[in-house]
Amino acid sequence: MENTTTEKVNCLIIGSGPAGYTAAIYTARADMKPVMYQGLQPGGQLTITTEVENFPGYPDGAQGPQMMEDFKKQAERFGTDIRWGMVTSVDFSSYPHKVVVDEKHHIEANAVIIATGASAKWLGLPSEKKLNGFGVSACAVCDGFFFKGQDVAIVGAGDTAAEEASYLAKLCRKVYMLVRRDEMRASKAMQHRVQNTANIEILYNHSTVEILGEQGVTGVKVFNTKTNQERILDITGFFVAIGHEPNSKEFKPYLNMDENGYILTVPGSTRTNVEGVFACGDVQDHIYRQAVTAAGSGCMAALDAERFLAAKGLH
């Protein structure tokens, strides 16, 4: 028979990026006995970036993975119970809130802080799926190394694509940047950087038709929407950098969200439409999406949760 033991948790934090760890630091210091489940990508998106130069307090910059190790250590120092595991379902229809981890561990939580962040988007081509991990990647910093001295393409025109194209240009012989419109969305500074890099060729008005190859990438078929012409670029690596989507689907039956799945919070707070459930970081922010703003909202979630528990006489 299935084990139906239920663990009682005072403050449950779901996700381990800057928002989750900041919520952990604050709730642990407030003696709220936080339990954190790290999720699929412990440390979150900063673990797949290199240099972070805009987080205040690091005058010389810091490596993303190291920064997240520091966040973790600080959360542990005050007693956060940090665990491996993914939240696979929730039931917010009655109190206390029910959360299931890895489809088997049942938790009843007095307060829940959702800090599950966002994940990379894909083009949706069958060849992209087939060759994922075999030359197709959504993280230049993770996988660029494998394409040292080779020719690659990157699709996207935002700051991420520009940053990753610059990163790849240092490793690869040639980087094609596939931009679907006649201009880029990236900041002017980033645009100038890629435009002034000799081995980056920006192909405006280009869409991806199919990634070619069986066991690995051998090329990409692209379509010029201005000239209506198709051509094949000889490449061995194909990188996707077209934005992110919030990791919120487990909460969809209970929480109000916008049309893209970002959790809606009461302005000026981290409160969701369910009492005792708070959301912070990129899962509720499609505008700023910075480590420092995520950390700030993690602090807000901790303070909101503390007030909620105090009002309930649970803290």
Structure-token pair, residue 138? 């959504």
Q: Quick check: helix, strand or coil at residue 308? A: helix
Q: Does 158 bind ligand NDP (CB under 6 A)?
A: yes
* Catalytic residue of the set 143, 151, 282, 285: 143
- The torsion defined by the Cα of 52, 53, 54 and 59, in degrees rounded to 10, comes to 130
Count of residues near ligand NDP by CB under 6 A: 16
Site string for ligand NDP, 263-292 (x = CB under 6 A): --------------------------x---
| Shortest separation between residue 69's beta carbon and ligand NDP, angstroms | 21
Taking the C-alpha atoms of residue 98 and residue 115, their distance in angstroms, rounded to an integer, is 17
The reply to whether 11 belongs to the active site is no
| Chosen residue from 98, 174, 185, 231 binding ligand NDP by CB under 6 A | 185
Site pattern 69..108 for ligand NDP (x: CB under 6 A): ----------------------------------------
- Select from 130-138, 236-244, 257-265, 298-306 the region that touches ligand NDP (CB under 6 A): 236-244
Q: Which of 70, 91, 102, 142 is catalytic?
A: 142
**Cα–Cα dist 299/142, whole Å:** 29
Q: Return the amino acid letter for 253.
A: P
When asked if residue 159 is in the footprint of ligand NDP (CB under 6 A), the reply is: yes
Nearer to ligand NDP, 112 or 241 (CB): 241
Q: Which residues contact 246 (CB under 8 A, 6 or more apart)?
A: 116, 117, 118, 257, 260, 261, 262, 263, 282, 283, 284, 286
309 lines the binding site for ligand NDP (CB under 6 A): no
Nearest distance, CB of residue 41 and ligand NDP, angstroms:
16
**What are the b/e assignments for 262-293, b being 16+ CB within 10 Å?**
bbebeeeebbbebebbbbbbbbbbbeebebeb
Cβ–Cβ under 8 Å, residues 255 and 246: no
Q: Which residue in 85, 243, 261, 296 binds ligand NDP (CB under 6 A)?
A: 243
Residue of 298, 282, 311, 292 lying closest to 121 (CA atoms) = 282
| Of the residues 48, 100, 123, 209, which one makes contact with ligand NDP according to CB under 6 A | 123
Active site residues: 139, 142-143
